Structure 1
Amino acid sequence: MSEGLAGRGDFDAVVIRTDYADERAWRALVAALPRQHIHFVDAPSASIEDVLTATRDADDLSVVFLADTTTMRSDPPALLALTTLTPEDCEDAEDYARLTEYGPAFRTAPTGIPDIHANLSLGNLGFEEYAAWAGESPDGVYRSA
């Protein structure tokens, strides 16, 4: 999967497709995504651990978005935003716990990808802030304002 990251532009968000059961659902998801700055990676049946291992050494990649089984079955689709942050990236265990206070993943609408990716890349906002906002919504999905 890490070879799938080759050719990613500096400002591209990464959408990793792990579910291939419904091609129509995939096409609808792609149509709902922003048109620019999205890099697609095919990773059939990859687990979250596989994704984290493959993205660990990617430069400037603090979050990836998974088009998993839940994404493909939800209407409207909601991708899994997954932080690439590891305990080793933090000052200590307390820092890691604070930055992943709401968990290492949350769901986002396709329209949330540019906002999340840009703000995390620039350091304007943290993953934990987006995860908290997702948690506050009735369906647990972040939607960009």
Structure 2
Amino acid sequence: MALPGGDGDFSLVLRTDFSDDAAWRAVCAELEAAEEFSTAVLEDDPRFSGATVRALLDEEAAAAEADRVFHVFLADAFTMTDPEHRLLAVDLADEPGRTFRVPPRWFPDISVNLAIANMDFAEFADEVDGSGTYRGLSDGGRDEA
């Protein structure tokens, strides 16, 4: 179940729930609408159906260094049923397994800053609100939704 590699300038959005194609299309449309220049690599492969954070961590630990992915955004069952379509951001490198939720509108902030190493995963994870959701640094980051 090796994760598709990227070139570091992109963030992998991995679909793990295949119960609602319309919801997946909505997630993709929201990601595209949020970005002037797309940094998302959308992976819609049924072999990742039901993939867990633990399975992804195990897969990355076994991958060759050149093939490792440092973070991933999951479109899981929660994402597909959530009105905001909040993705699950997963750290696969610095603090493996650390997660938080992010609405598609905030995806570009995270993706771009991680790609250029301007910020690290923990800086975004530390700014979540009470629901465990990142809603941007300009909002103070800790506002309740």
Q: TM bucket by the smaller chain?
A: 0.7 to 0.9
TM-score, normalised with respect to structure 1? 0.74
C-alpha contact 2:71 2:90 (8 A) present in aligned 1: yes
Measure, in 1, the Cα distance between the counterparts of 2:82 and 2:102.
11
Counterpart residue number, 1:90: none
Alignment: residue pair count:
127
Q: Which of 105, 121, 125 pairs up with 2:119?
A: 125
CA spacing shift, 1:114–1:141, aligned 2, 3 Å: same
Q: Which runs of 5+ in 2 are unaligned?
A: 139-145
Q: Which of 23, 38, 41 pairs up with 1:39?
A: 41
C-alpha contact 1:83 1:127 (8 A) present in aligned 2: yes
Identity of aligned residues (%): 34
TM-score, normalised with respect to structure 2? 0.74
Q: Which of 11, 14, 27 pairs up with 1:13?
A: 11
CA spacing shift, 1:61–1:117, aligned 2, 3 Å: farther
Q: Which amino acid aligns with 1:21?
A: S
Q: Give structure 1 regions of 4+ aligned residues with deviation exceeding 6 angstroms.
A: none
Q: Which runs of 5+ in 1 are unaligned?
A: 87-98
C-alpha contact 2:8 2:115 (8 A) present in aligned 1: no
Q: Which amino acid aligns with 1:118?
A: V
Q: Which amino acid aligns with 1:66?
A: L
- 1:66-105 alpha-carbon deviations (Å, 9 max, x no partner): 001111111111000000126xxxxxxxxxxxx57xx700
